[in-house]
Amino acid sequence: MVKIPLSRFLLMLLMPTTSCSLSTENILVKTNKVVQEIGDMFVGFTLDTYLLRVGWGRFNFSSPKALNLMKAVAPSYIRVGGSMGEDLVFDPHAGPVAHIPPIGKPFKLTATRWDELNEFIHNAGLKLIFAFNAFQRKNDVWDPTNAELLMNYSSQKHYDIAGWELGNEPDLYVRNGRENITGAMMGADFTVLRQILEKSQYKSSLLLGPDMTPLDGYRDPLMREFLSHGGASAVDVVTIHHYYFNGHTAQESSFVSLWWLNKLASRMIHAVDLIDDYQPVRPLWLGETSTGWSGGALHLSDAYAAGFLWMDKLGVCARYGIKGVLRQSLYGGNYGVLQSDMDPNPDYWLTLLYKRLVGNKVFDVTSPSKFVRVYAHCTKLQNLYHYNPGSVTVYAMNVNNDSAILRFPHLPGQDHLDVFWLTPQHGSLRAKVVELNGQAIVYANNVIPPLPPKTVTSGSVTIPPRSFGFIVMPHANLASCKSQSHGPVIG
């Protein structure tokens, strides 16, 4: 097999395709029916409670860089939660923390740290979701005293908290050396929290939970017990978590593996079907999700390679009825979209383009190749590129080692395709620098670069091997894309 340099492929994006040596994939976008709708805040981020334990680590809330980068992806939810939240205690009178307590021991959330977080959230135009400690208990019943203390303090400071959670991954409590909390107990606990919220300033805040790991048959009974014992009535949003593999053992091949990619859809369909069995039916979110658990895979989860699983997850979730996807994490571990110095990792740019281009209405798509995965939405109506209502945005990836030619013969307006194709610098999946249409994306002088498309007029787009990107059809002129809603806040 002859290998063609990546730079040549990128040049071919802008050229008419006459070669017969490349596979041509005729992509069918079924625009006759909108199969799902998502909200404008479908994509969000997380911050792990571990950062609170270590005083936010190196995350600098006063950094103009971090603030500017997050403003660019606003509005978005930021969920603060994690396993270490089960040791967190709010103390508004505590002074600076002198030392980091051992893992498994209680630690304090001080007023100063809570204020820093809320000020950053407000200034960046984000929405905060915070998880309470589920292990503050008396006689097997959750004790809301400390949660009410935090809510009262937040109310006095006029903090706008978009949502609250209780606990984290309850199906793993026993495995992690904690006491068992049954689904019925969780249902009762969430009912208590709902009653408290109804009497507080945060009556309109979302209640989300129970933040279980993926529903796969084994964990189903716990979720069913929770929903049938008050959980379905108490929460506004049902949340589960999803990771593909152990970040410590993941290989580069894992990130482009069809085996891992193909497992996601069936799991999401199963989860949505299970939730729909209970009344009132609640939307389902991935309340925490990334590539590999245990902090992700170094030089992979923080590199170009992570984009395949991330883009595919966004496409699968939107297509099969998941209404929110919160990326673990904004910062921290090996899967943060921001590095320790606040510079963006490759997935930041993918996410930014997604939020700029991808609209609320979702279409079904058929691709003839198992290696070319394609998703399609109406183009976002309010966009920086001034695309007309009626436009269509496709996002696609090629996980094969060979290039492919994409055609969309059933869609009008093929004489003008705007291409936003992302490739790794020097062709390495471990690259920390991503290129847009062959030009490195550089964040400098605290300025988001313009990220312009390349226009193709040949009616087809040649995409390089192991790459992904977006294609906008500004002249598709679809009636269903001219009046799309912005979607409810909860998705």
Query: Which residues are tagged catalytic?
Result: 169, 288
Question: Residue 272 in contact with residue 226, Cβ under 8 Å?
Answer: no
Q: Do the Cβ atoms of 236 and 490 come closer than 8 Å?
A: yes
Place of tokens 């909200």: 39
Contact of 142 with 191, CB cutoff 8 Å: no
395 contacts 311 by C-beta, under 8 angstroms? yes
CB 64 within 8 Å of CB 339: no
- Amino acid in position 281: V
CA distances from 119 to 97, 123, 175, 226, 261 (A): 20, 6, 36, 34, 38
Nearest Cα neighbor of 405 from 393, 426, 419, 392 is 419
Instruction: Please give the Cα distance from 403 to 348 (Å, whole number).
Output: 25
Residue 89's nearest CA partner among 159, 138, 145 is: 145
Q: What is the DSSP string of 28-74?
A: EEEEEEEEEE--TT-EEEEEETHHHHTTTTT--TT-HHHHHHHHHT-
Instruction: Note if the bond before 329 is cis, omega within 30 degrees.
Output: yes
Nearest Cα to 388, choosing from 477, 311, 317, 453?
477
For residue 407, which phi and psi values (nearest 5 degrees)? -130, 150
Q: Is 121 helix (H, G, I), strand (E, B) or coil?
A: helix
